[in-house]
Each structure stands twice: as C-alpha cells, then as structure tokens.
Amino acid sequence: MRTEVRYRVAIAGAELRMLVLAPQPDGCVGIDLDSGAFVRAIFPTGSFPTGGGEPLEAYDVTTAPIGEPLDPPDTVRPEAVALSGPPQRVGSLSPRRAERYLQALRHPAHGPLLGFAGVSVPYWTLVGDRPSLALVEPSEGPLVLAGPGGYECRFGWQGTVHQFPLGDRRLGHELYRLRRRRSSPRELTRILGFRPGRLLVVVAGPIDGHCTKQVAALLPGR
C-alpha cells in the first residue's frame, strides 16, 4: 500500500521558507512552511546558513531561493528541491509551536512504513510516486545500538519491532565519543536534552543498487 506524496512545486527563484528537522550530507530535511509538506532541500555541501558559521539545528526557520529543477528528477526523493545557495537562518520555533506542522505529517497508522516492507528496496523499483520521509511515533523505544556498520535505531511501531541504520551523524559522533554501545530512552534523553518521542525516517541511497530506510533524527514528542 502506498501513501500520498505531498510536496510543493519547485519554481526557480521562489523563496523556500523551511522549518528544519534534520541536516543531511547534501542539505537538510524540513517542512515547507507555506504548504506544510515535507521538503528535502539540497544545497552545496559544507556551506553554512547566512549570518553565522553554526550548522542548522532542528526547528530552525530558514529562507532561501529555489534553484533550477533537478534534471533528471530524483526518483528516490520526490520531495527534493535544489536551492541556489545556502539557507539563511531567520529564527526558530519551540517544539510546541512546531507541533501544528508535525502533527499533519505523522505516518498513517496502517500499511508498511514508507510504502515497502523491510529495511531496503531495489533502486530500480522507485519511480518517485511514494514519499521518502515519515514522522513516526514509536510505541516502544527508541534504543540506539552499536552495530557492525555503525549505530542503529530500534523501535516498536504498529506491533512490529524495526531496526534501521542511524543517519543522525551528530548523535552518532556523540555516542562514539561517550563510548556508548547501547543507549536507552533515558540515556538518550540526557544526551539530547529532550525525550525522543518522534523519529524522522527517510529513504537513503542508492548504495549497491538498493535504497535503505534510516532514522535521520530523533525529535521531541508531543
């Protein structure tokens, strides 16, 4: 079963007002404040928001002009929008104020997570007609565990235990620095400064012909 893909029309030169949820290697994941839809903003790797040298954080509010449409379109990430430059941080929202945007983007309580079962899917099967992002409210967990290829996040959702790679590099680096091999929700609360009640799950890749679900960020709950 496939869920609806909601994303804005990317018009070159228009301003993207975005609520940041998680940094990514080539940009960040956020919410388009004008449409309320998910957006995966792509901008030059290593660039910083205008007016400061600090990386973007969850719930920062940014603005940036949209660049030319991706050619060819990104079939893995249909929400992808290329920016013509790095976003400018113009403020931030508290988790309480951000709730009006987050509530509408919760993953439906039915069907497989992000439209396919398991952890990965062959790249050639993705044609851009399903979302690549989801906000999940776990029924148990999350736990972050050290695995053979890096940290992984385990959580319960809709009667099933899921375990995906942790895509949050900052959290992974902090856990490595602290030499944590297993972090409970209580320990994660101490490290993050909030109780993780939501997970941002994304489709990443392709790597070796497959795209993999990752937990891109742990976010505060309601």
Cα 215 to Cα 203: distance, rounded to the nearest angstrom: 9
Cα 155 to Cα 135: distance, rounded to the nearest angstrom: 13
Query: Under a CB-based contact definition with an 8 Å cutoff, are residues 209 and 123 in contact?
Result: yes
Question: What are the residues whose beta carbons fall under 8 Å from the beta carbon of 218, sequence distance 6 or more?
Answer: 142, 153, 168, 171, 188, 192, 196, 198, 199, 200
∠21-117-215 over CA atoms, to 5°? 25
Topology of domain 15-95 in CATH is OB fold (Dihydrolipoamide Acetyltransferase, E2P) (2.40.50)
Task: Report the SS3 class of residue 175.
Answer: helix
Question: What integer pLDDT is reported at residue 12 of this predicted model?
Answer: 80
Considering all CA atoms of the chain, what is the largest pairwise distance in Å, rounded to the nearest integer? 46
Mean pLDDT of 193-219: 96
Mean pLDDT of 160-178: 95
Percentage above 90 pLDDT, the chain: 71
Residue 5 has pLDDT above 90, yes or no: no
Question: What integer pLDDT is reported at residue 6 of this predicted model?
Answer: 46
**pTM (two decimals):** 0.90
Least-confidence region, from 60-69, 100-109, 189-198? 100-109
Phi, psi of 110 (to 5 degrees): -160, 160
Per residue in 58-84, pLDDT (tens digit) is 999 999 999 998 888 899 999 999 998
What are the C-alpha distances in Å from 150 to residues 67, 83, 115, 187?
34, 30, 25, 18
For residue 200, give the nearest of 139, 111, 150, 132 by alpha carbon: 132
Average pLDDT over the chain, rounded to an integer: 89
The token duo for 30 is: 């956020």
Residue 163 has pLDDT above 90, yes or no: yes
Residue tagged 């919410």 (tokens): 31
Question: What integer pLDDT is reported at residue 53 of this predicted model?
Answer: 56
Per residue in 12-49, pLDDT (tens digit) is 888 999 999 998 888 999 999 999 999 999 986 555 55
Higher pLDDT, 179 or 1: 179
In the chain, where the domains are located: 15-95, 102-220
Residue 183 has pLDDT above 50, yes or no: yes
Question: What integer pLDDT is reported at residue 104 of this predicted model?
Answer: 87
Residue 9 has pLDDT above 90, yes or no: no
Task: Report the SS3 class of residue 128.
Answer: coil
Question: What integer pLDDT is reported at residue 26 of this predicted model?
Answer: 86
Question: What integer pLDDT is reported at residue 25 of this predicted model?
Answer: 83
